[in-house]
Amino acid sequence: MSRRDALALVISCEHAGNRVPASLRPAFAGARALLASHRGFDAGALVFARRLGAALALPVIATTITRLVVDTNRHAGHPRVISERLAMLDAAARARVLARWHAPHRARVHDAVAAALRRSPRVLHVAVHSFTPVLDGVVRQADVGLLYDPGRALERTLAGAWRASIRGLQPQLRVRANYPYRGTSDGLTRWLRTCFAPARYAGIELELNAGLLRDATRWRAATTAVLQGLAALLSSRSAGTAARRS
């Protein structure tokens, strides 16, 4: 692949853990079950993000502070960027939480994308997440979701090629586009799209069904297909072709 066709990769994980900073632990007394649930963190996301990083020899930018303290995948002005568990915080304390744990993660990802673009003409940013298999009594009908902005040609083409590759490797996997969420909803990739040109930056949120974790064989097969599909995409000339079409 020529430099003209090169596609760099940045990996992040916004809901990697359920750690509560010592100064805020009193607000989470008795919340062990909540912290262990999908509201506390994305089960399996960090495990897979690190596996992806190891396979592709890339670092993973992750935050292990629970999303119930601050959700780094929401913008700073979102009404639920800091959860109701911290409703007692005044404006100054909320600002300190954002400055300490929210802004640094987003800045690290932004800077990693900018650095990648100094080395390569375009970058694919994969934000690794997982979703609960049942939400509000509704069973989610997917094993893997790829969230992107359909209005950005590079994202649309890369996501389509990745999805096709995964399904080719594991035809039984339910791989859906912009499910269980829309790729244009509030998120880190949405913000980064305002920072970088559509022909140079592609942000895709990878959503893995956390229910797969109940069966080690299924989890391994699904995540292997996702990893191999991404590796094939990065090594193929289709990445460069897709970018030129954008």
182 to each of 9, 54, 75, 189, how far by Cα in Å? 22, 29, 16, 12
Kindly indicate the confidence band of residue 138, based on its pLDDT and cuts at 50, 70 and 90.
very high
Token pair of 136 as six digits: 């509000």
88 to each of 27, 76, 134, how far by Cα in Å? 9, 18, 30
The one-letter code for the residue type at 229 is G
| Secondary structure class of 126 (helix, strand, coil) | strand
- Mean pLDDT, residues 150-172: 97
For the chain, what percent of residues have pLDDT higher than 90?
Answer: 93
Q: Is the pLDDT at 5 greater than 70, yes or no?
A: no
- Residue 162's H or E segment, with its range, is helix 153-169
- Mean pLDDT, residues 151-160: 97
- Mean pLDDT, residues 231-238: 79
Q: What is the CATH number of the domain that holds 176?
A: 3.40.630.40
- Mean pLDDT, residues 109-135: 97
Q: Which phi and psi (to 5°) does residue 179 adopt?
A: -150, 140
Kindly indicate the confidence band of residue 236, based on its pLDDT and cuts at 50, 70 and 90.
confident
**How far apart are alpha carbons 202 and 187 in whole angstroms?**
14
- CA-nearest of 170, 146, 174 to 220 is 170
**How far apart are alpha carbons 127 and 131 in whole angstroms?**
13
The torsion of the CA quartet 57, 63, 64, 69, rounded to 10 degrees, works out to -170
- Mean pLDDT, residues 165-183: 97
Q: Is the pLDDT at 58 greater than 50, yes or no?
A: yes
Range of the domain at 35: 3-245
Q: Is the pLDDT at 237 greater than 80, yes or no?
A: no
pLDDT at 4: 56
134-135/138-139 β-pairing? antiparallel
Domain count, the chain: 1
| Burial category of 169 from C-beta neighbours within 10 Å (exposed 0-12, middle 13-18, buried 19 and up) | middle
Q: Is the pLDDT at 104 greater than 90, yes or no?
A: yes
Kindly indicate the confidence band of residue 6, based on its pLDDT and cuts at 50, 70 and 90.
confident
Angle at 94 between CA 89 and CA 100, to 5 degrees: 130
Largest CA distance in the chain: 56
Q: Which phi and psi (to 5°) does residue 105 adopt?
A: -65, -45
